[in-house]
Chains A and B, each alone.
Chain A
Amino acid sequence: GAVVSQHPSWVICKSGTSVKIECRSLDFQATTMFWYRQFPKQSLMLMATSNEGSKATYEQGVEKDKFLINHASLTLSTLTVTSAHPEDSSFYICSGHREGGQETQYFGPGTRLLVL
């Protein structure tokens, strides 16, 4: 199978600090990775699409300066929430699209962020 991991799984931080979330594809190369945000009892909302070695494409309404995405290698993408505020508290999920694979995204287990 195709496994995607996220680290950390849980993070609590103070308002104003920055938090970095890592997304790794463990057994495949992910040419494209996606970052989603999920509010309680709601669906996943796509935040951005990142392709290895290029700038991420952000969805409308997502602040690119606040949610910094780096996709430096085919197995690692990072999401940095800069100057986090309580309204950024959410469940962040990444997924990877395998090059040459079928039309499937493989999801990480998610990272729960709580900003105090």
Chain B
Amino acid sequence: AQSVTQLGSHVSVSEGALVLLRCNYSSSVPPYLFWYVQYPNQGLQLLLKYTSAATLVKGINGFEAEFKKSETSFHLTKPSAHMSDAAEYFCAVKAGGYQKVTFGTGTKLQVIP
């Protein structure tokens, strides 16, 4: 079984401030973890993914995430928020070779000018 929990359905940050979106996972086998971004009325775009290589993963648009097995976490960060970062972010988990991906409930990021 696999699941993912995103803490905080809404997060507001000021432009230029640190972005931190939290994600905790549960998986019975070593997981693959993903962060996706969704803009209004659009599909999902992959930001970054962890597939058992380096625990610190760098993605597009300046985002990065760190896999911490001891904390079962995969939090998404960005040092300085930009207005264009305002969107909904989904954390997702896939248990090893099994193809089914389970998504979290999403976190809507608001960037305040």
Q: Which A positions have Cβ atoms within 8 angstroms of B?
A: 4, 6, 32, 34, 42-44, 46, 49, 91, 93, 95, 97, 102-110, 112
Contact = CB atoms under 8 A, between A and B. Distances in A.
B77 interface: no
B90 A43 contact: yes
Contacts of B34: 104
Given A43-B104, A49-B100, A103 B32 contact: yes
A6 B44 CA distance: 13
A107 B43 contact: yes
B100 A107 contact: no
B94 interface: yes
B105 interface: yes
Contacts of B36: 107
The 8 closest A-B pairs by CB, nearest first: A109-B43, A107-B44, A107-B43, A103-B32, A110-B43, A43-B105, A43-B103, A44-B103
